[in-house]
Amino acid sequence: MNLDDENLSVLTTVPGEFEASAIVSALEAEGIRAQAVGGFTAGFKAEAPGGASVMVLEADLPRAKQILADLRKEGAGVDWSKVDVDEPDAGEPPV
């Protein structure tokens, strides 16, 4: 989705493209147009901090903030130490 010609605001900046894409998908499921930017540089290991930003239309920013807060609240209830992510396949490096 290209929102280049619109008035955009940064909703949030996260460490990587995967998390930004997940947020964009959740927002779009709620009818909010969004896009992730900066994902190509988020993984660089340089002295300057990187990240991927989630951009939304200025008019959607208040609602997007509430959706993001709700998502983070839901995610905070997950005990990741009990989530079975399986073992890597042969030849895959461990995560």
- Which residue ranges make up each domain of the chain? 8-72
Homologous superfamily, domain 8-72: Hypothetical protein rpa1041 (3.30.70.1530)
Instruction: In whole angstroms, give the CA distance from residue 19 to residue 39.
Output: 10
Q: What angle do CA 69, 64, 53 make, to 5 degrees?
A: 90
Each residue's pLDDT, cut to its tens digit, for the chain (95 residues) gives: 456 667 899 999 998 888 899 999 999 999 999 999 986 554 555 555 568 899 999 999 999 999 999 988 887 666 666 666 666 677 766 65
Total residue length of the chain: 95
Q: What phi, psi does 13 have (nearest 5°)?
A: -125, 130
Task: Report how far Cα 76 is from the mean position of its chain's Cα atoms.
Answer: 15
Q: Is the pTM of this model over 0.75?
A: no
User: Residue 60 to residues 18, 49, 70, 72: CA-CA distances in angstroms?
Assistant: 22, 27, 15, 18
